[in-house]
């Protein structure tokens, strides 16, 4: 058993659009290519970075976004809090909502 290996957290693709991001129009270059955390500007290494996927920028280029673990956790918790207000399934029966469950599982993973 290895205890020193840092497992990279994988954000499911369907949750990426739910995470609140800073203004992509004014993103510094290092954050736009994933060298720094998209929220805090913290320099990232492969051991600490959480991959947030590729997105088109408002300028027609492709952004490759990554976040540090604490910022990603904050964003996931924010999405988890905001989610029920935007979801029919949660109004109906939150225990059956896959999205809510996935956000929760992701938050627990990021807390480690
Ligand atoms: Zn950060
Ligand atoms: Zn829901």
Instruction: Find the 92 Cα to ligand 2 centroid distance in Å.
Output: 9
Grade residue 1 by pLDDT with cuts at 50, 70 and 90: very low
CA of 10 to the centre of ligand 2 (A): 20
Structural domain count of the chain: 1
Cβ-contact 53, 15 below 8 angstroms: no
Distance from Cα 36 to the centre of ligand 1, integer Å: 8
The whole-angstrom separation of Cα 108 and Cα 94 is 18
φ, ψ at 73 (rounded to 5°) = -60, -45
The answer to whether position 73 is within a domain reads yes
Domain hosting 57: range is 13-111
Instruction: With respect to residue 2, please indicate whether it lies within any of the assigned structural domains.
Output: no
- In a domain? residue 5: no
Structural domain includes residue 6: no
Asked if residue 15 lies in contact with residue 99, where contact means CB atoms within 8 angstroms, the answer is: yes
pLDDT digits (tens, 9 = 90+) for 37-58: 999 999 999 888 999 999 998 8
Predicted local distance difference test score (pLDDT) of residue 58: 82
> Could you identify the residue written with the tokens 């599982």?
105
Compute the distance between CA of residue 7 and CA of residue 14 in angstroms, rounded to an integer. Answer: 21
Q: State the chain's mean pLDDT as an integer.
A: 91
Q: Quick check: 112 pLDDT over 60? A: yes
Q: What is the reported pLDDT for 90? A: 96
């Amino acid at each position: 058993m290895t205890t020193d290996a840092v497992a990279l957290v994988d954000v499911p693709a369907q949750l990426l659009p739910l995470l609140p991001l800073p203004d992509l129009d004014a993103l510094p270059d290092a954050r736009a290519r994933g060298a720094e955390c998209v929220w805090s500007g913290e320099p990232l290494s492969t051991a600490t970075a959480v991959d947030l996927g590729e997105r088109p920028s408002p300028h027609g280029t492709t952004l490759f976004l990554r976040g540090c673990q604490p910022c990603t956790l904050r964003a996931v918790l924010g999405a988890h809090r905001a989610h029920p207000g935007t979801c029919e399934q949660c109004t109906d029966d939150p225990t059956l909502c896959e999205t809510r469950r996935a956000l929760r599982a992701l938050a627990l993973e990021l807390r480690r």
